[in-house]
Structure 1
Amino acid sequence: MITTIQMKNKVLDIWSILKSERQSGLVKRLYSVNSKINIYCVYQYPEECYGIALSFPKSIRFNLEPFASVSEPVVEIYEDKSFPNCMILCAKIKHLDKINEFSYLCESVIQTILAEKTIVDAVRTFGNTLLRWKNLFECTSGIGLSKEEQQGLYGELRFLKKCLTSTSQLYYDIVQSYVGTNRTMRDFQGKNWAVEVKTTSTNNPQVLIINGERQLDDTLVDNLYLYHCSVEVSKQAGESLPEMVHNIREILKDDVAACSLFNAKLFEAGYLDIHEPFYLKRYYKLRKDSFFCVKDKFPRIRENELRDGVGNVNYSISISSFYSYEVPEQQVFLKCLSND
């Protein structure tokens, strides 16, 4: 059986069954029999490769060229012998140290694919996901997150935990709004709201680094907020990053879809469970957290204020210069989470 970390999911369960059968070659099993879209969990023996695959008509073209030199995940296309005139698009990995994280990614993308209305949309979604996975696996081949990345992720997860415990909105929708792991311009994004999270551990004078002219630009959203999380970092007192991850998983443990999506987003952020030992001796103790409404004369640079030819502007703002824009935490959740 495959050893799981923190929780099980359906993908891991199917992989375990396929592995126990020890059938040579690539074997597949439908993830759901109640869908018109045929997506499978696959296992290859004796190579011990795990993955997922999507069946689609031969009339749909898929370009394998971007994946020609990719070591993981391995992306291949086979003829689907279960259905006439169909092919199978397969993505699989072999390294067992990433099996758990990969299963979360698979679980998440399967849910997205099954929600598509047409097989053409399903293939497009799977293809776009595979391109993102390609970059993701290349970035997670090191020894974990830097101290700055750990601190930033801690602040984002602290806000996510606040959202999960402050509203009756579906957990899945809340986790889905966490888009910072996709390297988008802001960390949380809804239909007409956004929240940017900044985490600092420095002493006065405190400044925040703003990455790009669009990060604090409220032109396209009705409500834009800045969440500032100020922490003290130590080797003894406080909460570690793995503890924060565990606490959120506990909140989500009865919602398999939301928990799988959360774990997929952790992996996209570069957080792997096998790297936990690197993070256990670094603790965060909250000094203060504050919410600010970004509007009017809030100190920032907006895209339409730049001269022609100027872009990708990074700048710093002093926290003391925008205290007048501070708002209660409850206002943020009322304006944001109630809008979707």
Structure 2
Amino acid sequence: MSPEALLATWAELGEAAPSPSGAQRIRLDVDAAADIFACIFWPSRRQGLLIEGAGEHRPGGDRIPTCRGVRVVHEVSAEPRTLIRVMLEDEGLLDIFAVMSADLVGIVAPRTNTALALRRAIDRLCMWQGLFERVPAEGLSEERQRGMLGELLVMERLLVPILGSLAAAECWTGPDPAHQDFIRSGLAIEVKTSLAKRHARLRIANEKQLDERSHENLLLAYLNLDKSMAHGDSLPMVVQRVRALAASDPAASRILDDRLLAGGYLDVHAPIYNRNRWRAGDTRYFRVEGEFPRLTDANLPAGVGDIGYSIIADDLGSYGVEDDEVVALVEAVGG
């Protein structure tokens, strides 16, 4: 079910008279192991979902996720029967809530038993809890758009042609709390972008980002971007191209969409993101080793940590790696 279909369903339900039961509802998937309903909850007339099934099913540790502007209620009735109500409380988040709700339906509906379906619903809500905290209603900042665009361009230009779409999506760790953006079998790649024409400063988030000791090879990929509405790419344009590369492999498409979601990318924000377009030059790669300018746990004074700093791209020439060597390194981890 799409977010647009859910919005239409809620609008239809909202036109009915208030229900004495406290909610107007319509079943969304008749074949699912758990019952899934789109609801309008009265008297607040709030949009939401009801996911329920026979038996007593409690989340691990009795953890009930809470999302900004969304209320989640977990109940077990006397029969027993487990109910999870997910209700919108901030109307300003309706578009994002529709995306979240459609995602929940897609996660719950295929499960083969009620317990698994309800557990997956709670797990997915936990993921969305973090997402709601990180992503404002207006979407990713311009800086975060540029960062994700750079990572996807490296995936499109380098990794998919060599590894294939599934492996490329699997090794994309940028949206996760990993220290590098791509990790696979001893090779790590950290991607940085800059708008500067000269003396570009590449922001390094912490002392582990350029620490090669956990990897056989660590590469820093650098893309210089120019603002260009006439000839540039927006983030949604690059997302669409990478999705097209993965379209023939359902597993790759699913992993890619999960990674995009974890990174805070929602299609509902595409019209906003299309206002920003950049033209990317060739990708330059540098090998992080030896005297490469960086701060790590190995060279920080005792008691110093959680630092951020910048390095100058123009000063990295002696660590440059030719394209054919980069291709060879990726091919070596392709098996």
Give your verdict on TM over 0.5: yes
Question: 2:62 is matched with which residue?
Answer: 63
CA distance in 1, matches of 2:192, 2:270: 23
Question: 2:154 is matched with which residue?
Answer: 159
Which SS does the other structure have where 1:312 is aligned?
A: coil
Deviations 1:197-247 (A, max 9, x none): 000110212221211100000111222111111121123222222211221
Q: Quick one: which amino acid aligns to residue 189 of structure 2?
A: V
1:322 paired to 2:316: yes
Question: 1:216 is matched with which residue?
Answer: 210
1:229 to 1:101, Cα distance in 2 relative to 1, 3 A: farther
Question: What is the percent sequence identity of the aligned residues?
Answer: 23
1:238 paired to 2:238: no
CA distance in 2, matches of 1:40, 1:270: 28
Aligned residues: 314
State TM-score, norm by structure 1: 0.73
Question: 2:20 is matched with which residue?
Answer: none
State TM-score, norm by structure 2: 0.74
1:284 paired to 2:283: no
CA distance in 1, matches of 2:131, 2:243: 22
1:305 deviates by 1.9
Instruction: Note if contact 1:41-1:52 (Cα within 8 Å) is conserved in structure 2.
Output: yes
Question: 2:184 is matched with which residue?
Answer: 190
Instruction: Note if contact 1:145-1:270 (Cα within 8 Å) is conserved in structure 2.
Output: yes
Instruction: Note if contact 2:205-2:307 (Cα within 8 Å) is conserved in structure 1.
Output: yes
Deviations 1:69-94 (A, max 9, x none): 7532x43324389xx86746665668
**Paired residues for 1:113-262 under 5 Å:** 123=119, 129-163=124-158, 165-169=160-164, 171-262=165-256
1:298 paired to 2:277: no
1:108 deviates by 8.2
Instruction: Note if contact 2:236-2:273 (Cα within 8 Å) is conserved in structure 1.
Output: yes
1:182 to 1:323, Cα distance in 2 relative to 1, 3 A: same
CA distance in 1, matches of 2:175, 2:96: 18
Q: 2:304 aligns with which of 284, 305, 310?
A: 310
1:274 paired to 2:273: no
1:45 deviates by 5.3
1:218 to 1:78, Cα distance in 2 relative to 1, 3 A: same
Instruction: Note if contact 2:64-2:73 (Cα within 8 Å) is conserved in structure 1.
Output: no
Instruction: Note if contact 1:58-1:85 (Cα within 8 Å) is conserved in structure 2.
Output: no
Deviations 1:259-282 (A, max 9, x none): 343333333333333332333233
Unaligned runs of 5+ in 1: 5-11, 33-37
Instruction: Note if contact 1:101-1:264 (Cα within 8 Å) is conserved in structure 2.
Output: no
CA distance in 2, matches of 1:58, 1:261: 27
CA distance in 1, matches of 2:183, 2:105: 22
Q: Quick one: which amino acid aligns to residue 154 of structure 2?
A: F
RMSD of the alignment, in Å?
A: 4.1
Instruction: Note if contact 1:105-1:264 (Cα within 8 Å) is conserved in structure 2.
Output: no
Instruction: Note if contact 2:227-2:277 (Cα within 8 Å) is conserved in structure 1.
Output: yes
Q: 1:102 aligns with which of 100, 119, 141?
A: 100
Deviations 1:283-314 (A, max 9, x none): 21123311122122222112122222100121
Q: 1:335 aligns with which of 309, 329, 332?
A: 329
Q: Comparing 56-65 with 282-291, which one deviates more in the overlay? A: 56-65
Instruction: Note if contact 2:160-2:168 (Cα within 8 Å) is conserved in structure 1.
Output: no
Which SS does the other structure have where 1:204 is aligned?
A: coil
Instruction: Note if contact 1:226-1:293 (Cα within 8 Å) is conserved in structure 2.
Output: yes
Q: Comparing 153-162 with 55-64, which one deviates more in the overlay? A: 55-64
Question: 1:75 is matched with which residue?
Answer: 72
